[in-house]
């Protein structure tokens, strides 16, 4: 168990990570991109474990966007293969560590056998009460808002919801992150400074960090540095400074 050095009230409840730079990591070493993605999975395992040990409530990891289908068939195949391998190898482990897995994104439109593996991972860990681990897979923020709008329309048409009852809270509860706190901290590795369609509603007041390090090189020390940086920030939410 690591020592918790950050004051609990200064710890982010919800951390969201855009795990970027696997391809460049491989290229720098003259390796195929597939090995960059494989190294990325290892980095991810370490960050999941550390988040769980530190008592982070929610960790959202951007693993595959709705736009990533544009990549070559070969690369999409590698990523889908790694996803299955991860589910096969890690779900029991995560279960034992009290981690609950949730998928953000359109699982129904995932190909088989990935869809079944993801649903099984969610079902298997549904009773777990420790770290809430969100995997964003086939996820796009605009697509999430579209699906939320669709749910609300269906409720309205069935008579269960009136237009004036659509509050920020009803919309929040129709999102893939229903029931979870908003994102406090976004970390995007690799030096790119953009959101790439990740959690647009939930990150509205998040603190953003763009460390210049490729995802497979992002380890525990870099994670701690990110949490330290977050703890030192002054969040005002439109109000006045606490300082
Ligand atoms: C992130 O690494 C992983 C996914 C998007 C699945 P990239 O594959 O985007 O790596 P770069 O950006 O090409 O270096
Ligand atoms: C964002 O990375 C998606 C994931 C990390 C899964 P990309 O590498 O796909 O984003 P862009 O294309 O550079 O914006
Ligand atoms: Mg990238």
pLDDT of the chain, 243 residues: tens digit per residue: 556 688 888 999 999 999 999 999 999 999 999 999 999 999 999 999 999 999 999 999 999 999 999 999 999 999 999 999 999 999 999 999 999 999 999 999 999 999 999 999 999 999 999 999 999 999 999 999 999 999 999 999 999 999 999 999 999 999 999 999 999 999 999 999 999 999 999 999 999 999 999 999 999 999 999 999 999 999 999 998 765
pLDDT at 119: 98
Is residue 217 part of the annotated active site? The answer reads no
pLDDT at 151: 97
Active-site residue, selected from the candidate residues 53, 68, 120, 229: 68
Whose alpha carbon is nearest atom 11 of ligand 2?
196
Q: Tell whether ligand 1 has an atom less than 6 A from the beta carbon of residue 189.
A: no
Query: Which residue blocks in the chain are alpha helix, DSSP H?
Result: 22-28, 33-54, 73-96, 114-124, 141-157, 168-173, 220-231
Characterize 106-127 residue by residue with b for buried, 16 or more Cβ atoms within 10 angstroms of its Cβ, and e for exposed: bbeebeeebeebbeebeebbee
Q: Tell whether ligand 2 has an atom less than 6 A from the beta carbon of residue 63.
A: yes
pLDDT at 3: 60
Q: Tell whether ligand 1 has an atom less than 6 A from the beta carbon of residue 22.
A: yes
pLDDT at 1: 52
Query: Which residue blocks in 29-140 are alpha helix, DSSP H?
Result: 33-54, 73-96, 114-124
Q: How many helices (H) and strands (E) would you count in the chain?
A: 7, 6
Position in ligand 1 atom list of the atom nearest CA 79 = 6
Q: Tell me which of 196, 197, 214, 216 to substitute to probe ligand 2's pocket, judged by most ligand atoms within 8 Å of the beta carbon.
A: 196
Q: Which ligand is nearest to the CA of 141?
A: 2
Tell me how far the alpha carbon of residue 196 lies from the centroid of ligand 2, in angstroms. 6
Kind of pairing, strands 58-65 and 207-209? unpaired
Nearest to 69 by CA among 112, 111, 27: 111
Q: Tell whether ligand 2 has an atom less than 6 A from the beta carbon of residue 139.
A: no
Tell me how far the alpha carbon of residue 135 lies from the centroid of ligand 1, in angstroms. 16
Q: Tell whether ligand 1 has an atom less than 6 A from the beta carbon of residue 199.
A: no
């Amino acid at each position: 168990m690591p020592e918790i050095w950050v004051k609990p009230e200064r710890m982010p409840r919800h951390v969201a990570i855009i795990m970027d730079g696997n391809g460049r990591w491989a290229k720098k070493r003259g390796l195929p991109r597939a090995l960059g993605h494989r190294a990325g999975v290892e980095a991810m395992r370490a960050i999941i474990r550390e988040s769980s040990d530190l008592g982070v409530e929610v960790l959202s990891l951007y693993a595959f966007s709705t736009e990533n289908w544009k990549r070559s068939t070969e690369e999409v195949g590698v990523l889908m293969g790694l996803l299955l391998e991860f589910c096969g190898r890690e779900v029991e482990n995560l279960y034992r560590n009290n981690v609950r897995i949730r998928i953000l994104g359109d699982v129904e439109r995932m190909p088989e056998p990935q869809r079944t593996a993801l649903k099984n991972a969610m079902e298997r860990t549904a009773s777990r009460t420790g770290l809430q681990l969100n995997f964003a897979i086939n996820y796009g923020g605009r697509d999430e808002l579209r699906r939320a709008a669709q749910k609300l329309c269906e409720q309205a048409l069935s008579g269960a919801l009136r237009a004036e009852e659509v509050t920020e809270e009803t919309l929040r509860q129709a999102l893939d992150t229903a029931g979870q706190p908003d994102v406090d901290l976004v970390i995007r590795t690799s030096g790119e400074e953009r959101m790439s369609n990740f959690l647009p509603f939930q990150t509205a007041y998040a603190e953003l960090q763009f460390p210049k390090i490729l995802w497979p090189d992002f380890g525990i020390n870099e994670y701690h540095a990110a949490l330290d940086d977050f703890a030192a920030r002054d969040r005002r939410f439109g109000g006045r400074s606490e300082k």
